[in-house]
A and B are shown apart, each in its own frame.
Chain A
Amino acid sequence: MFGLLNNSNLFQWIEKLINFFNSIFFILLLVALSFALIISPPDYLQGDSVRIMYVHVPAAWIGLASYTCIAFLSILNFVFKIKNFSLVTKSIAPIGLLFTCIAIITGSLWGRPTWGTFWAWDARITSMLFLAFFYFLFIIINKFIKDDTKANKISSIVAIIGLVNIPIIKYSVDWFNTLHQPASIKITGTSTIHSSMLLPLFLMFLVLILYCALIFLMKYKTEIIKIKKKNLKR
């Protein structure tokens, strides 16, 4: 089974998956955008501004999930020293930073009509800013420290320290007095969002996840080629 996970076998699958994702991406994007911008109804209280949710919420989910993934893979990398894990974390980090920034910016654009301000130093928003900072640090370390082993070690430590921030982001709306509304979608318990809004939300999430997979595969492929290129010179 582990033979399937070697870079040569993965490389062939990556090529096929990139082509497949590219072929379905635009159709799915058009369907999701039609639901998000046209078909879904306006909110009874927030009106059409609720449509910002369809990019803001999936972006925040992806930002959080990517970081959690990086931190856990960093822990595993520390324990088992599996080189592929550091390639995976390096490939995920830019995606996480991108979506954390999108969540902050779209949140700010949503905040203006709903709260009357673009920015507030509130627990959820500030902790999201910290998340972007941790991503930034992780990427900078891997980019500027030339010794790979040293870069992996330091960036893994940063990722693990930043993991503390994840529950703070998740529960900030319950623990602190904040402007941000509590979660409407719950994994355990009943969600307080109507299905006419839930469908476009999940469609947009699906499209963005597909986009993430595309970027991840291209970045992972680049990292494999970088290693092969280095080995060629030896």
Chain B
Amino acid sequence: MIQNFIYMSGYGFYVWASFALTIIFCGFIYLKTLRTLKKYERDFAKEIDELSVEKKRIVLENSKIASQVLSSYNKSI
């Protein structure tokens, strides 16, 4: 039964290759996108962290995004 499932009446190569390539490509793009996002989040949080105390306070007060990125970065380390 498993052999039939893999063989797919002779079309196994084409069917499995189609699904496998789709999953591989999608998986690759997912990981690449996630890695890029994390890299930018980390760099952005580091840049905020390196600001002077006064400037950091102003940035965090004026930007919800900056404070959110910084707090999630601090949680992750």
Taking a contact as CB atoms under 8 Å apart, the answer to whether B25 and A215 are in contact is no
User: Beta-carbon contacts of A182-201 to B below 8 Å, as 1s and 0s?
Assistant: 00000000000000000000
B29/A215 in contact, CB under 8 A: yes
Judge whether A42 is part of the interface by a CB distance below 8 angstroms: yes
Contacts of B37 in A (CB 8 A): 218-219, 221-222, 225
Asked if residues B11 and A106 are in contact (CB atoms below 8 Å), the reply is no
Partner of B18, one of A7, A12, A52: A52
Any B CB within 8 A of the CB of A224 = yes
Q: Which of B57-77 contact A (CB under 8 A)?
A: 59, 63-66, 68-69
A11-B65, A59-B22, A113-B11 as given contacts; A229 in contact with B29, CB under 8 Å? no
Contact residues, A9-63 vs B (CB, 8 A): 11-12, 15, 33, 36-38, 42, 47-49, 51-52, 55-56, 59
A228 at interface by CB-CB < 8 Å: yes
User: CB < 8 Å: which of B8, B30, B44, B64 contacts A8?
Assistant: B64
CB distance from B36 to the nearest CB of A (A): 6
A109 part of interface (Cβ distance < 8 Å): yes
Contact call B5/A49, Cβ cutoff below 8 A:
no
* Chain A hits for B5, CB < 8 A: 37-38
Chain B residues positioned under 8 Å from A47 (CB to CB): 8-11
Total number of residue pairs linking A and B with CB closer than 8 Å: 109
Contact of A218 among B9, B14, B33 (CB under 8 A): B33
- Residue pair B36, A222 in contact (C-beta under 8 Å): yes
**Whole-angstrom distance between the alpha carbons of A218 and B30 in the complex?**
9
B29 / chain A contacts, CB cutoff of 8 Å: 94-95, 98, 215
For A7, A109, A215, A219, the residue with the greatest tally of chain B CB atoms inside 10 Å of its CB is A109
Q: List the interface of chain B (C-beta within 8 A of A).
A: 5, 8-12, 14-15, 17-19, 21-22, 25-26, 29-30, 33-34, 36-37, 40-41, 43-44, 47-48, 51, 59, 63-66, 68-69
Chain A contacts to B: CB under 8 angstroms: 7-8, 11-12, 15, 33, 36-38, 42, 47-49, 51-52, 55-56, 59, 94-95, 98, 101-102, 105-106, 109-110, 112-113, 211, 214-215, 218-219, 221-222, 224-226, 228-229, 232-233
Given contact pairs A36-B19, A48-B11, a sample of 11 additional A-B residue pairs in the complex whose CB atoms are under 8 Å apart = A8-B63, A12-B64, A98-B26, A105-B18, A105-B21, A113-B11, A221-B37, A225-B65, A228-B63, A228-B66, A228-B69
